[in-house]
Amino acid sequence: MISSIHEILSDISVERLKGYVKSIEGLRHGWENYDEIEKRAKFIENTFRSFELKVENQYLSFHGKTYRNIIATMEGIKINSENILLGAHYDAAWGSPGADDNGSGVAVLLEAANILSKQNFNKTVQFVAFTLEEPQPQTIHFLIGSDHFVKEAKKSKKRYEAVFILESVGYTDKAEGSQVVPIFVRIPVPRKGDFLGIIANRRSRHIMDAFYSISREYSPELKIVTYKVPLSGRIIPETRFSDHASFWNYGYPALMLTDTAMFRNPHYHTHRDSFETLDFTFIFNVTKAVVSVILMLGNN
């Protein structure tokens, strides 16, 4: 497997990544654009099925409407092994077409599923598209879809060795000073917004280190900045603004992979978050990193 990873990575397609973003982009706020978010759910489900993966819909109710997480599974050869999960949310903020947030994450999710579905793994690998990550008007809570998913996983005593959450992974800015740093972050951070941030808590520190070392070898063009947040990010709320936090809440080791969203992208949560603003070379390199990491960890 290790000797063929470069060959596997060569199958990743920028054109497919672009196609996925175009298919996801558009107003799709969970409450305000219900029909549109359901169209994206059907697209994701059908795309997963086209890879001949086992696909299921996990339904949840929110204020009288039914939403769904879409779960695609590759069963591992080893019995009772811990699972590896790659996830991204497919809804968007109110009024935003959400190309970066989170069309870019869904694009990497789908392309990774496409490439990895052709392989065999010792461990079970899941690809999950989460609904209702963004705030909804009826509640102060968000991460609704992933919270439901993790609660159900805990009930069924599901074990996860590693969870990788793709959160806005398509925007770069190489201008000096384009990268802002959240208050209380006490590590050196480049001032140019052209790197992938990897955010871990104490429990996920080891998979952050593994992600960094593997991606250095197989996607060396991708600049990476790692950060282990203290207290699972509770003193830096911005480090909890994606579905990885739902996994942290229940003790699962999870990483957020991000272009840092509002700390770099001036189009974040606005009508300007469009396909034309994205850096597809960066998205391609993120995909290479993600695929190589799952190839390595899934066959340990």
Among 1, 182, 27, residue whose Cα is nearest residue 96: 27
Among 24, 2, 6, 15, residue whose Cα is nearest residue 166: 24
Structure tokens at 121: 């793994």
Among 52, 46, 42, residue whose Cα is nearest residue 75: 52
Structural domain boundaries, residue 140: 2-297
Q: What does DSSP assign to residue 194?
A: -
State how many domains the chain has.
1
pLDDT value, residue 2: 46
Which H or E element spans position 2? none
- CATH number, position 91: 3.40.630.10
CB atoms < 10 A from the CB of 178, how many?
A: 18
Task: Provide the whole-model pTM.
Answer: 0.97
Instruction: Give residues with Cβ within 8 angstroms of 85, minimum separation 6.
Output: 125, 126, 127, 128, 160, 162, 163, 164
What DSSP assignment string belongs to 22-70? HHH-S---TTTTHHHHHHHHHHHHHHHHHTT-EEEEEEEEETTEEEEEE
Interval 233-266: pLDDT, tens: 788 888 999 999 999 999 999 999 999 999 999 9
Taking only the tens of pLDDT, the chain with its 300 residues reads: 444 999 999 999 999 999 999 999 999 999 999 999 999 999 999 999 999 999 999 999 999 999 999 999 999 998 777 899 999 999 999 999 999 999 999 999 999 999 999 999 999 999 999 999 999 999 989 999 999 999 999 999 999 999 999 999 999 999 999 999 988 888 899 999 999 999 999 999 999 999 999 999 999 999 999 999 988 878 888 899 999 999 999 999 999 999 999 999 999 999 999 999 999 999 999 999 999 999 999 998
CB-side exposure of 192: number of CA atoms within 13 Å?
8
Instruction: Give residues with Cβ within 8 angstroms of 195, minimum separation 6.
Output: 179, 222, 223, 224, 225
| Beta-sheet pairing, 125-130 with 160-167 | unpaired
Among 73, 207, 5, residue whose Cα is nearest residue 199: 207
pLDDT value, residue 236: 87
CA–CA dist 163, 234 (Å, integer): 19
CA–CA dist 213, 271 (Å, integer): 37
Residue 88 pairs in a beta bridge with: 129, 166
Whose tokens are 């066959």? That residue is 299
Among 222, 239, 219, 242, residue whose Cα is nearest residue 291: 219
Among 99, 90, 117, 82, residue whose Cα is nearest residue 18: 99
Instruction: Give residues with Cβ within 8 angstroms of 103, minimum separation 6.
Output: 20, 21, 24, 25, 92, 97, 170, 275
pLDDT value, residue 183: 83
